[in-house]
Structure 1
Amino acid sequence: MQKFGLIISLAFLFEASSLMAQSPEPINKSTQEQVREIVRHVLESNDEFVKKLPQDYFKELIHGQKPIATMVTCADSRLHTHALDIHPDGDLFLVRNIGNQVSTAEGSIEYGVRHLHTPVLFIIGHSSCGAVEAAMSRPAHLEPSIWRELDTIKVTGNKSDDHLQVKESVESNVNHQVSTALKKYATEVETGHLTIIGGVYDFRNDYSQGSGRLVLINVNGETDLAKIRKMPIVNFK
């Protein structure tokens, strides 16, 4: 499974979009140096990763993949797989897009569910999601390509500077994406071949469970947190 680093967060994209609307300025030395440092960071990180691996680490990955789950997450740079799977290689069929959406990555998700036959489909949102905030505030300067992806995000308010409304909208979007997936994969869910789980990666500690915790908020359409905690698939006591 290939790993992609340095995914630009939507929040950064929004901040930079006003600059991109202007005529591009010539690349100066400082910008070139910045690019050089970024490339070096990626290559050195890859080198460090490889050096720590046992010699036969990739042996089982060469001839194909058998991931344990398909996972849809936001492309935001603050959410990465090491927070959800310490050793994700071969484990996660990972799909990333702004707002952790099903419709904008339908083919990739379908491949994971119906061709790789993963028994779990995770849909993971996160605190302070820039895509959700944009869908709430609807800034006028965003490009049409971004709006096409934001159109299938479901929010509950329009005050993107209100943390409570953002939290509720993050939850609303996760639940909406789970609902969309339940409709598409109804047969797999009804026959017990697939479980669809929605969660929020909470680095703001909005749920008072500690910063950086993954909080499950939806299991096959069930959103009552008390009931979810009692489900055998999440109750490990």
Structure 2
Amino acid sequence: MLKQNRCNLILGILLLYCCNLSAETTSFVNKSEKDQVREIVRHVLESNAEFVDKLPKDYFKDLIHGQSPIATLVTCADSRLHTHALDVHPDGDIFMVRNIGNQVSTAEGSIEYGVRHLHTPILFIIGHSSCGAVEAAMSKPSNLEPSIWRELETIKVVGNEVDSHTEVKKSVESNVNHQVTLALKKYSKEIDAGNLTVFGGVYDFRNDYGRGNGRLVIINVNGKTNPIEIEKMQLYSFN
């Protein structure tokens, strides 16, 4: 029932966008707007209840009084990329920072807290397939608000052909590498002291790299982007 409700919600949202949120489409699948909102909130609460019910009683015991994450992770706010795709049990592991385009400059304070106050030994910067922020930086659509444009300023892309999967992939990589470069400059002392390693990667749900849908592909390690060199680091424990 919950899955069916979710499908109905997705269908309704698509209809709303296609009709420019017109008054005629504020009700879909015979439900009022208030009922839609209630159903979405109920879905979130039910999902939370399901999560909690599966946990052992002492699950949060070691998390109550503080945190010591193993990595600071900067990734895109895109709804197609979530923590469970990168860490099955992220609680206490990942200091997560999200923004459009997985950028360093627009979340500088949050990242700095993870690196310099929580002292995570790793800073991940993770882009993803078909990134809308990257495509916007490529195509420069005229209908974006100034606040969004301000958050796209430090995205570095190559080309402007958003219909080309190859060009979008290259731009996603270009942006990840650019963000890593910014991080290397800011945290050079930590890196030189051997206290921090910066990794850049792409969450590849399109299978652009041919390794399977949903794989995380590491493309940058402390500024090194040669795939052969990265392969020699033996980061992957699977074929």
TM-score, normalised by the number of residues in structure 2: 0.87
Q: Note the C-alpha offset of 1:18.
A: 9.7
Q: Given the superposition, is the C-alpha separation of residues 30 and 18 from structure 1 closer, same or farther in structure 2, using an over 3 Å criterion?
A: closer
Larger radius of gyration: 2
Of the three residues 53, 60, 63, the one matched with 2:62 is: 60
CA contact (8 A) 1:17 1:141 kept: no
What is the root-mean-square deviation in Å for CA atoms of aligned residues? 2.3
Residue of structure 2 equivalent to 1:193: 195
Identity of aligned residues (%): 72
**Partner letter of residue 141 of structure 2?**
P
Residue of structure 1 equivalent to 2:108: 106
Residues 138-178 of structure 1 deviation map (CA, whole Å, 9 limit, x = unaligned): 00010000000011100001011111000000000000000
3-state SS of paired residue (1:94):
strand
CA contact (8 A) 1:18 1:141 kept: no
CA contact (8 A) 1:175 1:198 kept: yes
Q: Given the superposition, is the C-alpha separation of residues 17 and 90 from structure 1 closer, same or farther in structure 2, using an over 3 Å criterion?
A: farther
3-state SS of paired residue (2:127):
strand
Q: Aligned residues, how many?
A: 222
**Partner letter of residue 149 of structure 1?**
E
**Partner letter of residue 202 of structure 1?**
D
Q: Given the superposition, is the C-alpha separation of residues 194 and 18 from structure 1 closer, same or farther in structure 2, using an over 3 Å criterion?
A: farther
Residue of structure 2 equivalent to 1:119: 121
Structure 2 gaps, min length 5: 1-12
Runs of 4+ in 1 over 3 A off after TM superposition: 15-20, 24-29
CA contact (8 A) 1:126 1:202 kept: yes
Of the three residues 170, 173, 177, the one matched with 1:171 is: 173
Of the three residues 41, 44, 48, the one matched with 1:42 is: 44
CA contact (8 A) 2:121 2:197 kept: yes
Structure 1 gaps, min length 5: 1-11
Residue of structure 2 equivalent to 1:69: 71
Residues 97-132 of structure 1 deviation map (CA, whole Å, 9 limit, x = unaligned): 000000000000000000000000000000000000
Matches within 5 A, 1:177-216: 177-216=179-218
Q: Note the C-alpha offset of 1:27.
A: 6.3
**Counterpart-to-counterpart distance in 2, 1:105 and 1:179:** 15
**Counterpart-to-counterpart distance in 2, 1:203 and 1:150:** 23
CA contact (8 A) 1:68 1:118 kept: yes
